[in-house]
């Protein structure tokens, strides 16, 4: 395509490819709504008004806005292949996603990044990537790979890589650990995403001064305000487990909103199908009272500008023709989705996408043989440190209380909702098993387990009875990764995840059915968590306070070190 052809088309000296008549353009640049027509030529918007066109489409008076952008998402957390994730979100209006393949890279190293790049190429969802910066996330767990600054340097110039992924090791930044600083320095002119829950004051200033320019971990308005005041791009998150949107929206005003954007981080298939994607955040923001154009700016232009995507995020000449048609701002029901000027979804359905379910993937569950005695905890005191779940948050609390002892062993106590939790290393067959207790699941019998356990994705299981816990581990091994609910050494529901123990090779609808069955089975055993497996997956994440469990033991995240299970 020669630039002169674009100029001729924009001037009206040559026919455009597509003219969409009778639309209300939501102009996120001028912050107004304009009733007009829009012309598209060779995948670009070239002008407004009347043009000669090879194809004319009646917009039926719908609003026309830029395609939505998710500024931070782990595709793996959907448990869908990239193509199936595309089928879920593109009909909802998302045309661009900035993904951090942190999960699969922790399992497979840079081979995982290559898989994600290859599997997401040529989809109607344009996927960019951030290079994972923390593999392993910390020294406190065992991951499947180690990614060095040299490994990252070899990929940073890739055109679909926009920068360095979330720097979770904020203590490493604050104490100028050489290996951490080496990773930050390879970014060059590309951006570095942050991950700094509860970081405040001078430490936050130091973290930002290292070149880190965004954060998606704010959970209260004061924390978010300080990050915004100090120049961070505030990524407002609303995921399946961490739902921060409504807590942070009161901070947003027309004067500061340009430095705010929407991200999902982690959303499961049921959440995507029941509530939506970025479109749901627009609906919620408008219902809260945010100006509709401001809400759309946060879902499009603001994120594009943060990442340097100069041709995305707006409806104007020279921008990519990624756009949506929708009914009104209250319902925000997306009717049609276009990518590079071509229709890709209509009335909630992808128009055409090849089958992607026939995926052969190497096994990634490698564990030593485990006996019941390996799961037993000898009572070495009365009081124990317990992980206390905070509903709808990734944060947990540390609870110190007396445990239940039977036959000199510390065991689950369903009456107080205190259950055994175990993390089993699954990459190198080291035999590492971390054991502890957790409060807040509600489980009365049985166990539930998963190989989705951020960030190193070892096997994590919570259960009432050691026999069920062991059975769950053995079945996870047999499935080569996945999620399941068991009771009396019988599987109640299961979802195999053969792609790195993180993603299914099944269609979206079947994954959804399996997830519904898993949640139903867990609740049938007494679990009262809104999203049991999403919550479970974050109980091994030793970078979000206060207390977590890894294959190496119990971690006090505030001290960034291990603590004993017994408190006295």
Query: What digits encode the pLDDT tens for the residues 517-537?
Result: 999 999 999 999 988 998 999
Residue 269 predicted with pLDDT over 70: yes
Alpha helices in 12-137, H assignment, sequence order: 82-89, 102-108, 110-119
Q: How far apart are CA 356 and CA 318, in angstroms?
A: 33
Task: Using pLDDT thresholds of 50, 70 and 90, give the confidence band for residue 223.
Answer: very high
pLDDT confidence band for 45 (50 / 70 / 90) = very high
Q: Which residue has the tokens 């749901």?
A: 280
Share of the chain above pLDDT 90, in %: 89
pLDDT of residue 191: 97
User: What is the rounded distance in angstroms from the CA atom of residue 548 to the CA atom of residue 454?
Assistant: 11
Closest CA to 361 of 116, 1, 86, 129: 116
Across the strands, what pairs with 461? 422, 449
Rounded distance, CA 87 to CA 561, Å? 42
User: What digits encode the pLDDT tens for the residues 133-172?
Assistant: 999 988 899 999 999 999 999 999 999 999 999 998 888 9
Predicted local confidence at residue 498, as pLDDT: 94
CA distance 452 to 201: 33
3-state secondary structure of 537: helix
Q: Provide the pLDDT for residue 268.
A: 85
What pLDDT does 393 receive?
A: 80
Residue among 389, 535, 455 nearest 169 (CA):
455
Query: Does position 201 have pLDDT exceeding 70, yes or no?
Result: yes
Asked if residues 403 and 379 have their Cβ atoms less than 8 Å apart, the reply is: yes
Q: Phi and psi for 116 in degrees, rounded to 5? A: -65, -40
pLDDT of residue 510 exceeding 70, the answer is yes
State the pLDDT at residue 355: 60
Residue bearing the bigger pLDDT, 254 or 543: 254
Q: How far is CA 502 from CA 301, 361, 483, in A?
A: 31, 11, 9
Per-residue pLDDT at 392: 75
In the prediction, which pLDDT does 356 show? 59
Residue 65 scores a pLDDT above 90: yes
Q: Token pair of 282, please?
A: 């627009």
Confidence of residue 244 (pLDDT cuts 50, 70, 90): confident
Reported as half-sphere exposure (CB side, CA atoms, 13 A), residue 37 has a value of 16
Quote the pLDDT of residue 139. 87
Determine the 3-state secondary structure of 152 from DSSP: helix
In the chain, where does the domain assigned CATH 3.20.20.140 lie? 68-311
Q: Which residue, chain included where needed, has tokens 């049938």?
A: 524
How many CB atoms within 10 Å of residue 32? 10
Between vectors from CA 113 to CA 108 and to CA 119, what angle results, nearest 5°? 110
pLDDT tens for residues 280-313?
Answer: 999 999 999 999 999 999 999 999 999 999 999 9
Q: How does DSSP assign 21-38, residue by residue?
A: EEEEEEETTTTEEEEEEE
Range in 57-61, 295-299, 354-358 the model is least confident about: 354-358
Q: Which two tokens stand for residue 128?
A: 């960019």
Higher-confidence position of 376 and 170: 376
pLDDT confidence of residue 354: 65
Please, which pLDDT band fits residue 357 given cuts at 50, 70 and 90? Answer: low
Please state, as a whole number, how many other Cβ atoms lie within 10 Å of the Cβ of residue 461.
25
pLDDT above 80 (res 76): yes
> Do residues 427 and 366 make contact, with C-beta atoms less than 8 angstroms apart?
yes
In the DSSP assignment, the letter for residue 566 is: B
pLDDT at 522: 98
pLDDT for 266 beyond 90: no
DSSP symbols for 256-274: TGGGEEEE-B---HHHHHH
Q: What is the mean pLDDT of residues 358-370?
A: 86
User: 451-495: per-residue pLDDT in tens?
Assistant: 999 889 999 999 999 999 999 999 999 999 999 999 999 999 999
CATH for 68-311, options being 3.60.10.10, 3.40.50.880, 3.40.50.720, 3.20.20.140: 3.20.20.140
Q: How far is 420 from 132, CA to CA, in rounded Å? A: 31
Q: What is the pLDDT of residues 408-444, one digit of tens each?
A: 999 999 999 999 999 999 999 999 999 999 999 999 9
Token digits of residue 249? 């929206």
> What integer pLDDT is reported at residue 353 of this predicted model?
76
| The pLDDT of residue 242 is above 90 | no
Distance CA 383, CA 356 (A): 51
Model confidence at 543, pLDDT cuts 50, 70, 90, reads: confident
Q: Which two tokens stand for residue 401?
A: 């209380």
Please, is 467 exposed, middle or buried when counting C-beta atoms within 10 Å of its C-beta (0-12, 13-18, 19+)? middle
Looking at residue 568, what is its pLDDT? 74
Rounded-to-integer distance, Cα 397 and Cα 385, Å: 10
CA angle 407, 553, 175 (to 5 degrees): 155
Average pLDDT over residues 531-557: 93
Residue 258 burial (C-beta neighbours within 10 Å; 0-12, 13-18, 19+): middle
- Share in percent of the chain as helix, strand, coil (round to 5): 30, 30, 40
Give the single-character DSSP code of 281.
H
Q: Which residues of 309-326 are buried (b: 16+ CB within 10 A; e: fewer)?
A: beebbbbbeebbbbbbbb
pLDDT in tens, 109-143: 999 999 999 999 989 999 999 999 999 988 899 99
């Amino acid at each position: 395509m020669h630039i002169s052809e674009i100029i001729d088309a924009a001037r009206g000296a040559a026919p455009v490819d597509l003219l969409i008549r009778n639309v209300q353009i939501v102009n996120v640049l001028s912050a107004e709504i304009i009733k007009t027509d829009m012309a598209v030529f060779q995948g670009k918007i070239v002008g407004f008004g009347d043009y000669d066109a090879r194809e004319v489409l009646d917009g039926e008076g719908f609003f026309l806005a830029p395609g939505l952008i998710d500024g931070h998402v782990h595709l793996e957390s959907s448990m869908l292949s990239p193509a199936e994730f595309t089928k879920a979100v593109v009909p909802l209006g998302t045309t661009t996603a900035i993904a951090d393949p942190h999960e699969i890279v922790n399992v497979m190293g840079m081979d995982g990044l290559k898989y994600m790049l290859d599997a997401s190429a040529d989809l109607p969802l344009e996927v960019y990537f951030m290079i994972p910066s923390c593999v392993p996330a910390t020294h406190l767990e065992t991951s499947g790979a180690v990614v060095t600054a040299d490994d990252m340097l070899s990929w940073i110039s890739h055109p679909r890589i926009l920068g360095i992924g979330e720097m979770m090791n904020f203590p490493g930044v604050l104490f100028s650990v050489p290996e951490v600083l080496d990773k930050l320095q390879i970014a060059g002119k590309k951006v570095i995403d942050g991950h700094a829950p509860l970081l405040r004051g001078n430490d936050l200033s130091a973290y930002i001064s290292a070149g880190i320019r965004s954060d998606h971990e704010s959970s209260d308005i004061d924390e978010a305000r300080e990050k915004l005041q100090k120049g961070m791009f505030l990524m407002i998150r609303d995921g399946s487990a961490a739902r921060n949107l409504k807590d942070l929206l009161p901070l947003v005003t027309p004067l500061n909103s340009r430095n705010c954007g929407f991200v999902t981080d982690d959303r499961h298939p049921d959440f995507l199908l029941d509530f939506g994607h970025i479109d749901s955040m627009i609906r919620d923001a408008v219902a809260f009272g945010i100006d509709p154009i401001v809400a759309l700016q946060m879902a499009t232009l603001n994120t594009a500008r943060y990442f340097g995507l100069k041709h995305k995020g707006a409806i104007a000449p020279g921008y990519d023709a990624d756009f949506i048609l929708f009914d009104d701002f209250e319902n925000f029901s997306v009717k049609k989705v276009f990518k590079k000027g071509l229709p890709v979804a209509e009335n909630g359905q992808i128009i055409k996408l090849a089958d992607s379910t026939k995926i052969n993937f190497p096994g990634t569950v490698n564990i030593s043989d485990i006996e019941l005695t390996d799961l037993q905890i000898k009572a070495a005191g009365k009081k124990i440190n317990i992980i206390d779940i905070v509903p709808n948050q990734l944060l947990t609390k540390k609870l110190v209380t007396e445990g239940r002892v039977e036959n000199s062993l510390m065991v689950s106590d369903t009456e107080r909702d205190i259950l055994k939790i175990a993390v089993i290393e699954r990459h190198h067959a080291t035999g590492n098993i971390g054991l502890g207790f957790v409060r807040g699941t509600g489980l009365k019998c049985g166990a539930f387990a998963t190989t989705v356990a951020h960030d190193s994705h070892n096997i994590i299981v919570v259960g009432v009875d050691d026999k069920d816990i062991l059975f769950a581990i053995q079945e996870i091994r047999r499935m080569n990764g996945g999620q399941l609910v068991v009771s009396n050494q019988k599987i109640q529901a299961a979802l195999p995840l053969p792609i790195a123990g993180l993603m299914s090779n099944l269609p979206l609808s079947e994954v959804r059915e399996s997830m519904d069955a898993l949640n139903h089975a867990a609740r049938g055993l007494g679990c009262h968590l809104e999203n049991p497996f999403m919550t479970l997956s974050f109980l091994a994440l030793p970078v979000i306070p206060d207390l977590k469990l890894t294959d190496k033991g119990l971690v006090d995240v505030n001290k960034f070190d291990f603590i004993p299970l017994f408190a006295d």
